[in-house]
Structure 1
Amino acid sequence: MRTILVLYLTRRLGYDDDGATVLYHVFTSLVYFCPLFGAIIADSFLGRFKTILYLSLVYAIGSIVISVGAIPPLHLPASTVTVLGLMFIAIGTGGIKPCVAAFGGDQFKIPEQAKMLATFFSLFYMSINAGSLISTTVTPILREDVHCFGEEDCFSLAFGVPGVLMITSIIVFIIGRSFYKIEKPSGNMFVMVSKCIGNAIITRVRDTSNVVREHWLDYSEPIYGRDLVDDVKSLMKILVLYIPLPFFWALQDQQGSRWTFQATRMNGEVGLFTIKPDQMQVINPLFIILFIPLWDLFVYPMLAKIGIKRPLQKLTFGMILAGLAFLISGFLELKLESGYPIVPGPSQTQIRIFNGLNCSYHFETNLPEDKSFEIGAMEMFERKIIQLDRVNQSFNLKATSTGSCGDLTADIELNAGKATSYFLTTKLATAALVAYEESPDKPKKGFPVIRILSTSNNTREVSLKHLSKDVVRSFSSNSTEMQSLLVGEYAVVVDNIPVSSLTIEPGAAYTMVIREQLDGSSMIKTHVIVPPNDIHILWQLPQYIIVTAGEIMFSVTGLEFSYTQAPESMKSVLQACWLLAVAFGNIIVVIVAEVSFFDSQASEFFLFAGCMAVNVVLFIWLASRYKYRHVAETETAIAMSTPKTSIDAQRGSSKAGIENYAYSSDM
């Protein structure tokens, strides 16, 4: 669902890139806050089975709500319905996140069935990653290649299929109830730790004795005991190292937002196949599967030879790779920006004049840089930047025909920050100018767009018929409205008579001028207003590969470090804190997007890369002060702990199970 979310927010709900980014990361942040409450509910009240069942129903309701809200004929308040659906999904998926794999682990008797447990988690791992690969490939196809309700896409189907599959999974889950071993709630350690810390703070504030405690947490020892207090102290030492961690996730999770928007401004055509912007996210789970064994067999041994072998060193290296990925994305964005159309600033304007007549015209104006110019028959004049003295400024022009089309004198008004186009045509047998507001920027919805201008005084139907897909776009000849199109070859049909062909390229904006001849036939000239995307989408591969390599170094190693360094009673608490780091990372993205430091997206990418560099320095300093806790773990102990550690901490749908691989092979 997240794969297509930002495109739905911008293309169908009208959010700008910043607004969609904010909502996407608020949703993601909520997803990673909810596991804390899901774990508390499961461990303290309902147990894992009921928690999974009830919150899966909430998850399914959210999917259905979003899917129904995306059906145009229902005319529902789509933005409100979408936010409501996202809330249900966040609560549902976040709530079951710490329970699903652990519930699977509950079915095995340890240590007798340790090997079966390992096999189960391997299958679990493969299923999760296979699901991620399939979904990030297929969901964009359902979104774009299926057309429903007269739209170029079908978001309602793309959202609906996951909802149907979720309902199916719930039914299967319920059917298997009689086969499950269902553990009773045993209490949540996170709640206990919170109470211990709270009691220490309150007792210290209220303490009036002169007894000096060695540590502020010692104030809670009379109630919670020395063992728990010592374990909480160890936990706090590790949590200090967690302070810089959210920034890694701030970069990592922008694959589904900022990098997807970047991909919409690129050309995805590869032979007969077109890579959709949201399909680039498939690279992450794909390379995770490919990289994990490579890292274990080759990369880690090579790094060990140069002294990078301790967990905190690997974490640092993962952060550096994430920063490098954003540095690359910034340079790629600079290259993209160099080809972006010129858009007028606050004190500037832009003008275009299309000549739809069969005569050339000589213009004389009082425009600052264009006192006179020529426009041939069916040709166009444009001035992309005109400085204005005030918000609305009038200019006069005189157009003299070189033929018998008639002369024209007119006053035109140009507005600051906008682009205005004029169509030179005939009305009542005299030359006339038809004005309309132009859109000089890249198409907001990501699809190429076209506007039809016709000199016909009678209403004629102009149709563009896609030559390889069952898609037809119809226009009224007396309308200047712009419509979006799919990429590809089109036949141009006027009143059911084919008159021309047209190639529509990704990211482009076109204006088609149609002149009606005396014999009733049509002459056509198409002008490119906004150039097509000219940089290929595969140029994003380096940044995706590098950030995925960084994620393996960071996520897998970080969970391994947390597992080995945490006291036995604190392992599940530390995994909950790891998920909270993901949540706080997404909040960082929300803050940056809301503040809008820069107009340039490249500058924002460089900001994140620079902040990561500072973050790395901070982490190195904190890591240099940390003393490792040396613990000898047996394979049986690892197997026994896996359900409550590595898998409980699954970072997301495509990441679950990676940690199990790391523990069984690296430790």
Structure 2
Amino acid sequence: MEDKKDSKKQESKGKCRVVFGYPLSIFFIVVNEFCERFSYYGMRAVLVLYFRYFLLWDDDLATSIYHTFVALCYLTPILGAIVADSWLGKFKTIIYLSIVYAVGQVALSVSAVHDITDTDRNGKPNNMTFHVVLSMVGLFLIALGTGGIKPCVAAFGGDQFTDQQEKQRRTFFSVFYLCINGGSLLSTIITPVIRAQECGIYSQQSCYSLAFGVPAALMVVALVVFILGSSMYYKAKPEGNIMLDVCRCIGFAVKNRFKHRSKRYPKREHWMDWAEEKYDKLLIAQIKMVLKVLFLYIPLPMFWTLFDQKGSRWTLQATTMNGYFGSIVIQPDQMQTVNPILILTMVPIMGSLVYPAIKKCGLNFTPLKRMTVGMVMASIAFICAALVQMEIDKTLPTFPSKSQSQLKLLNMGTNPLTVMLPGNVLVNLSAAQASDDYFTFDKEDIVVTTDHPQVTRTISLSMGLRQTLLLPPHALDQWILADDLTSKPEQGNNAIRFINGMDIPVNISSPKGDFGLVEPNFYSNYTMIKNGKTTFTLWSGSQSCEYSAEYGFGSSYAYFIPSSLVFGPDCQHSINVSENIKANSVHMALQIPQYFFITTGEVMFSVTGLEFSYSQAPSNMKAVLQAGWLLTNAVGNIIVLIVAEIAKLPKQWAEYLLFASLLLAVCVIFSIMANFYTYIDPAEIEAQFKKDDDKDDEDDKGKRKSSDVEMTRKHSVGSQSDGKQTKI
């Protein structure tokens, strides 16, 4: 009977038209996944900026809400898996949650629309509560949608293949992963560009609404494409509330085991066998299969701990590097696109060349062995990152510790100046020039003496800070301390400030940022300037001056406007430059090896892990096991925070080596666990249990039938006896 059911399932799968050996329905699923991933990663690429510059939250709150959202996206797959395997089935779950997903994307897009005229004096919308509530509702719906369908889509795609299409099924998981990275690559390039455009009602502003609107449109496209293939899909029916049955069965087994702890009860082969008194042997066997795989999952979060740092630690590392690739300029956060580019290249190479070549060499490169090697690759990637960080550290300026202060001197006068610092250190300054380096002191109050004019004053420095002492040309003028940067400018920007040595205020502006009005003998705040050529315009009244400069990444400059400046076309040569922080000199290309190794590890670990999870899962628990796989990612992100908080290493390269060492240690443990794992065919085991159950049922029927015959015979004999007695 069961064989007939299985044959009907295979027949229903075979009804779909086959193209190039693949069910046509697969192409709808692949397009759906590409559009959905574009939608998710495109939205996430600009989310923090939306929090920071639209909702005007501070950095800490924006970061906290962002990571809460990402964590929720990796926790909701459990809910989606339970709903799919227990009640709705994968197809309906994907449809319903995709609708929720699209509504959330639209809500987020609408939350970014506001009339710029309806703002307070600080440019903050008066109805900010509406925008915050709508955006939070949108993000919750997105997390529910993207997390809920995540474990279902891959498993649903695997369901479309027959047993005779095992090779095509394996290829599908590789193509599926390519679509994830293809959507991620395009969206992380396109949506930031859209966001940077200016749009708005009655006024121009960053176009967050359109940056969220395009992903929302792609999610609607994903939903429509998936629905169009409805008639071609094989839709496996849910088999009851599996998770509830599993939890009850495990709970009963544990309870029954402790209940019969005495030695007079014989030991059983597996602790789950203690549930046999109440639960079906097939369910117990299926739970055993799931538990075996989940046990292997225990070390896996450590891989994601390293992998997900490419979007945080490695991006921060790139901000201290040089991004010029010939005529192309790569921003620090754009280096993340190296990962999906390499994925799109390496997945087909590994699947069609590397793995077959290893097999021809006679090596049994099993999925668990691939995953082990993938973990080693990720460790090597972090060793490379540590080596790169060491090179970067050699080029970084020496910033003061909390018990130190640093001081630079600027002669604002028109005559040379000699300055005496503590320890009889003499510093000779030309007219309108700054000292080349900073001087470090271990105390707050220092005595500074100058000649021409001869002045001696006690200066109170701030510990842990860099400062520039502005020395005016006249003895009675006030000495001013300007606070300088104590870290590299973020995101590869260049921190620029102007110091006005003239007796008149000067307005300063540029296409990339305005400095405002700088008062006489005072300085402007820092303005962050992107790399490339920038022209600054200085004017006072009707007079103007243009100054042009070319910038790299991560530098800081102070421009001094001398009192002798004459406005006009030749004024550029009169403005003096003080380099406080040198531009990044270590090239971003040095990050490519670490991206190569982490991507190689991802291909061998993640793609293989998806396939392994599907192949080793019972027929009614595939989505649940996929959710367990995704949960390892969420745990990995938590480990990053825990390890970084506990370790608190002063050097970033040391933290990289720590993570690499931890993963190598976990890799050894995983390889030992994998060595004892026995690969199984869940369908074969389930068929055997069903066959045994059918045999037991037939035996029971046979026993009942023979018993009924015996009872009939006895009843017949009794009746005849009674008849005889009656006749007598």
Task: Please indicate the TM-score interval, normalised by the length of the shorter structure.
Answer: 0.7 to 0.9
CA distance in 2, matches of 1:563, 1:109: 12
User: CA 1:186–1:458 in structure 2 vs 1: closer, same or farther (change >3 Å)?
Assistant: farther
How much has 1:621 moved relative to structure 2? 1.5
CA distance in 2, matches of 1:607, 1:336: 18
How much has 1:51 moved relative to structure 2? 2.6
CA distance in 2, matches of 1:235, 1:176: 29
Instruction: Give the partner amino acid of 2:371.
Output: L
How much has 1:372 moved relative to structure 2? 2.4
Matched, 1:211 2:277: no
CA distance in 1, matches of 2:358, 2:63: 36
Counterpart residue number, 2:100: 54
CA contact (8 A) 1:59 1:91 kept: no
CA distance in 2, matches of 1:119, 1:239: 24
Instruction: Give the partner amino acid of 2:332.
Output: P
How much has 1:188 moved relative to structure 2? 4.7
Counterpart residue number, 2:315: 260
CA distance in 1, matches of 2:387, 2:228: 57
Instruction: Give the partner amino acid of 1:443.
Output: P
CA contact (8 A) 1:189 1:570 kept: yes
Aligned-residue sequence identity (percent) comes to 34
How much has 1:348 moved relative to structure 2? 0.7
Deviations along 1:211-250, one digit per CA (max 9) or x if unpaired, are 3451332232233211111221232222222221111111
Listed as ranges, the gaps of 5+ residues in structure 1 are 466-470, 634-667
CA distance in 1, matches of 2:441, 2:275: 70
Matched, 1:497 2:507: no
Matched, 1:506 2:553: yes
Counterpart residue number, 1:526: 577
CA distance in 2, matches of 1:480, 1:80: 38
Q: Could you say what secondary structure the match of 1:98 adopts?
A: helix
Counterpart residue number, 2:285: 230
User: CA 1:317–1:111 in structure 2 vs 1: closer, same or farther (change >3 Å)?
Assistant: closer
How much has 1:624 moved relative to structure 2? 2.1
Counterpart residue number, 1:362: 418
Counterpart residue number, 1:38: 80
How much has 1:385 moved relative to structure 2? 5.4
Matched, 1:473 2:529: no
How much has 1:90 moved relative to structure 2? 2.8
How much has 1:584 moved relative to structure 2? 1.2
User: CA 1:204–1:120 in structure 2 vs 1: closer, same or farther (change >3 Å)?
Assistant: closer
CA contact (8 A) 1:355 1:376 kept: yes
User: CA 1:600–1:3 in structure 2 vs 1: closer, same or farther (change >3 Å)?
Assistant: farther
Counterpart residue number, 2:593: 542
How much has 1:52 moved relative to structure 2? 2.3
CA contact (8 A) 1:459 1:477 kept: yes
Counterpart residue number, 2:340: 285
Higher relative contact order (CA 8 A, sep 6+): 1
Q: Could you say what secondary structure the match of 2:451 adopts?
A: strand
Q: Which has the higher helix share?
A: 2
Counterpart residue number, 1:91: 144
How much has 1:629 moved relative to structure 2? 2.6
Counterpart residue number, 1:352: 408
Deviations along 1:93-119, one digit per CA (max 9) or x if unpaired, are 21222344566788x797999999999
Counterpart residue number, 1:410: 457
Counterpart residue number, 1:616: 667
User: CA 1:175–1:535 in structure 2 vs 1: closer, same or farther (change >3 Å)?
Assistant: closer
TM-score (norm 2): 0.74
Which residue, 495, 511, 530 being the options, matches 1:486? 530
CA distance in 1, matches of 2:651, 2:486: 17
Give 1:83-122 correspondences, 5 Å limit.
87-100=140-153
User: CA 1:543–1:277 in structure 2 vs 1: closer, same or farther (change >3 Å)?
Assistant: same
User: CA 1:602–1:421 in structure 2 vs 1: closer, same or farther (change >3 Å)?
Assistant: same
Which residue, 240, 243, 254 being the options, matches 1:190? 243
CA distance in 2, matches of 1:118, 1:578: 17
CA distance in 1, matches of 2:149, 2:567: 67
User: CA 1:85–1:536 in structure 2 vs 1: closer, same or farther (change >3 Å)?
Assistant: farther
User: CA 1:118–1:346 in structure 2 vs 1: closer, same or farther (change >3 Å)?
Assistant: closer
Give 1:579-618 correspondences, 5 Å limit.
579-618=630-669
Which residue, 169, 182, 196 being the options, matches 1:130? 182
Matched, 1:329 2:385: yes
Counterpart residue number, 1:444: 490
CA contact (8 A) 1:456 1:477 kept: no
User: CA 1:542–1:65 in structure 2 vs 1: closer, same or farther (change >3 Å)?
Assistant: farther
Instruction: Give the partner amino acid of 1:193.
Output: V
CA distance in 1, matches of 2:664, 2:554: 34
How much has 1:497 moved relative to structure 2? 1.9
Counterpart residue number, 1:435: 481
Deviations along 1:252-276, one digit per CA (max 9) or x if unpaired, are 1112111111122222222332112
How much has 1:424 moved relative to structure 2? 2.1
CA contact (8 A) 1:348 1:387 kept: yes
Q: Could you say what secondary structure the match of 1:627 adopts?
A: coil
CA distance in 2, matches of 1:190, 1:333: 47
Q: Could you say what secondary structure the match of 1:423 adopts?
A: strand
Instruction: Give the partner amino acid of 1:195.
Output: R
CA contact (8 A) 1:453 1:513 kept: yes
Matched, 1:139 2:191: yes
CA distance in 1, matches of 2:153, 2:683: 28
CA distance in 2, matches of 1:242, 1:67: 43
Counterpart residue number, 1:248: 303
CA contact (8 A) 1:342 1:440 kept: no
Q: Could you say what secondary structure the match of 2:349 adopts?
A: helix
Deviates more, 1:413-422 or 1:623-632: 623-632
Counterpart residue number, 2:20: none
In the alignment of these two chains, the number of paired residues is 610
CA contact (8 A) 2:52 2:58 kept: yes
Counterpart residue number, 1:638: none
CA distance in 2, matches of 1:321, 1:52: 35
Listed as ranges, the gaps of 5+ residues in structure 2 are 1-42, 685-728
Instruction: Give the partner amino acid of 2:368.
Output: L
Q: Could you say what secondary structure the match of 1:441 adopts?
A: coil
User: CA 1:33–1:388 in structure 2 vs 1: closer, same or farther (change >3 Å)?
Assistant: same
Q: Could you say what secondary structure the match of 1:342 adopts?
A: coil
Deviates more, 1:538-547 or 1:76-85: 76-85
CA distance in 1, matches of 2:50, 2:495: 18
Which residue, 422, 433, 440 being the options, matches 2:469? 422
CA contact (8 A) 1:6 1:257 kept: no
Q: Could you say what secondary structure the match of 1:74 adopts?
A: coil
User: CA 1:520–1:111 in structure 2 vs 1: closer, same or farther (change >3 Å)?
Assistant: closer
User: Which has more radius of gyration?
Assistant: 2
CA distance in 2, matches of 1:518, 1:266: 35
Q: What is the Cα-based RMSD across aligned positions, in Å?
A: 3.9
Instruction: Give the partner amino acid of 1:537.
Output: M
How much has 1:190 moved relative to structure 2? 3.5
User: CA 1:599–1:247 in structure 2 vs 1: closer, same or farther (change >3 Å)?
Assistant: same
